[in-house]
Structure 1
Amino acid sequence: MKNLSKKIKDKLVEFENIINYKFNDTKLLNRALTHSSFANEYKKRDLKYNERLEFLGDSVLGLVISDYIFNKYESYPEGELTKIRALVVCEASLAESARKLKIGEFLLLGKGEEATGGRTRTSILSDAFEAIIGAIYIDGGISVSRRFILGNLLETIEDAVNGELLLDYKTELQELIQKDNKYPIEYKVIKEEGPDHNKSFFVEVLNDNRVLGKGKGTSKKEAEQAAAKVALKRVEK
């Protein structure tokens, strides 16, 4: 931990206790928790931030999850396995795991990022979670990485398999819109069809009285996600 301040050292030890893994090279963990906005504010220090570790962690994560569900669910076809993996490794799922580990409290963020809610932002938390995986992989190898990943995502895998997990397009849309728009996002049920036991809901998502997208689902929640998915494609264009 040479060259790290005592305050940072103490925070890293606290985080190691939370994840139940002690790094051989604590600088890797510090780098995993350092956002580019922090490094940019201290350019003279030439600090390393977590984007490269995130890149590596993303690959390790994909391999571990693919290996696990491939062996666990032997009767599932390739298409179903792909769908499950996508749900497990999506931004929203990873950010939720990051929140459980309180990763946001340990991030090194620039003042601007901090002021705009960076510690709770889904994209930043998701990236940091992957960066930590990358750091653990370099420091301890694939077995330790696998233990960390499955220890934090096993419940998410089960929810995905049981159909209890949806890709969180609503959160992605919210974050994208809020970057430069002060108006809230609203979801409105515009129509319901079918009997109570087999009902379909039709929802539109609005921002500043503009319809951004429409969606259909067997529940209001599913229809809202479908509408948000459509809206995302339009807004991103």
Structure 2
Amino acid sequence: MLVPNVSAGLPQPDLARLEQLKELSRRLEFRFRDYRLYDLALTHSSYSNEPGSHRMNNQRLEYFGDSIIGFIVNEHLFLDYKLSEGQMARIKSAAVSEKSLASAARALRFGAYLRMSKGERKSGGSRRPSNLADAFEAFVAAIYIDRGMKQARQFVVGMLDSRLRNLSQSGRALDPKSALQELVQKQFRTHPVYELVSQEGPDHKREFVYRVVIDSREIARGMGSSRKRAERQAAIRALDLLRE
């Protein structure tokens, strides 16, 4: 194990959960050494409210995994693609977006493995893009801690390489905010402004709403679990409206 103290305080998964994680390990075709890490990576913050649950969730792993994925994607783009700095930045932004990571988690059927409260699951939490993207980030952190960078790199590149290739072949601005910036500058000779509308919820489950404004006129709004994600959703919606 790369970081032996990380899982020291984690409880062992019960037998039913252990069998579920073993099935995932077999399906992914690589061996989990410390099942506690993968159990934690697939535990949503709402699960802390369930009777008999441990009070730990995947938020710290998600934070760590975000950095690991960003490094791996940047390294892959730098070594394997002949792209400018701006192109790499736009491709990386699109590849590690909530939409992209949620799609990868969906392909892995992570929704079926996510532990969450009954209320969260009933409200569609196992299909919610933010929850799936967070689980993917946390899972990558678990792989890194359990198996090291080589295995984490193989996993991330294996899941995202097809998307990276598609993005690198596109002549369009790949990041929605960059695309909107280009479109607004061309059509209106100004630039879009992102403004915070509201932020609600506790620290561990904050929800942001941002609006995009052009020439003092609101064009669209976006919602997300972070400022970046809310702004990106607002840009996507604004692009759809302006292109129509």
Native 8 Å contact 1:168 1:225 kept in 2:
no
- Give the Cα separation in 2 of the matches to 1:115 and 1:168: 31
3-state DSSP of counterpart to 2:220:
strand
Match of residue 31, structure 1, among 40, 48, 55 = 40
Task: Tell me how many residue pairs correspond in the alignment.
Answer: 182
The verdict on how the C-alpha distance between 1:68 and 1:39 changes in structure 2, with shifts beyond 3 A counting, is same
- Give the Cα separation in 1 of the matches to 2:102 and 2:149: 22
Query: What TM-score do the two structures reach when normalised by structure 2?
Result: 0.67
What letter is aligned with 2:62? E
Where structure 1 has 5 or more consecutive residues not aligned to the other structure, the ranges are 170-178, 180-210, 215-223, 232-237
Q: Are 2:135 and 1:128 equivalent residues in the alignment? A: yes
What letter is aligned with 1:15? L
Q: Are 2:151 and 1:144 equivalent residues in the alignment? A: yes
Cα distance, 1:77 vs structure 2: 1.4
Cα distance, 1:15 vs structure 2: 1.0
What letter is aligned with 2:126? R
Match of residue 68, structure 1, among 73, 76, 85 = 76
Greater per-residue helix proportion: 1
Aligned to 1:195: none
Native 8 Å contact 1:92 1:167 kept in 2:
no
Native 8 Å contact 2:21 2:39 kept in 1:
yes
Cα distance, 1:45 vs structure 2: 4.4
Q: Are 2:24 and 1:15 equivalent residues in the alignment? A: yes
Q: Percent identity of the aligned residues?
A: 34
Q: C-alpha deviations, 1:134-193, integer Å up to 9, x for none?
A: 000000110010000011111010111122995579xxxxxxxxx9xxxxxxxxxxxxxx
The verdict on how the C-alpha distance between 1:167 and 1:107 changes in structure 2, with shifts beyond 3 A counting, is farther
- Give the Cα separation in 2 of the matches to 1:23 and 1:133: 12
Q: C-alpha deviations, 1:176-234, integer Å up to 9, x for none?
A: xxx9xxxxxxxxxxxxxxxxxxxxxxxxxxxxxxx8539xxxxxxxxx98561479xxx
Cα distance, 1:58 vs structure 2: 0.6
The verdict on how the C-alpha distance between 1:145 and 1:3 changes in structure 2, with shifts beyond 3 A counting, is closer
Q: C-alpha deviations, 1:55-111, integer Å up to 9, x for none?
A: 11111100100000011123x211111001001000000000111100001110111
- Give the Cα separation in 1 of the matches to 2:123 and 2:176: 21
Q: Are 2:48 and 1:48 equivalent residues in the alignment? A: no
3-state DSSP of counterpart to 1:119:
coil
Aligned to 1:86: 93
Q: Are 2:211 and 1:228 equivalent residues in the alignment? A: no
Where structure 2 has 5 or more consecutive residues not aligned to the other structure, the ranges are 1-9, 178-199, 201-217, 222-232
- Give the Cα separation in 2 of the matches to 1:227 and 1:150: 25
RMSD of aligned Cα (Å): 3.0
3-state DSSP of counterpart to 1:120:
coil
3-state DSSP of counterpart to 2:72:
helix
- Give the Cα separation in 2 of the matches to 1:94 and 1:114: 20
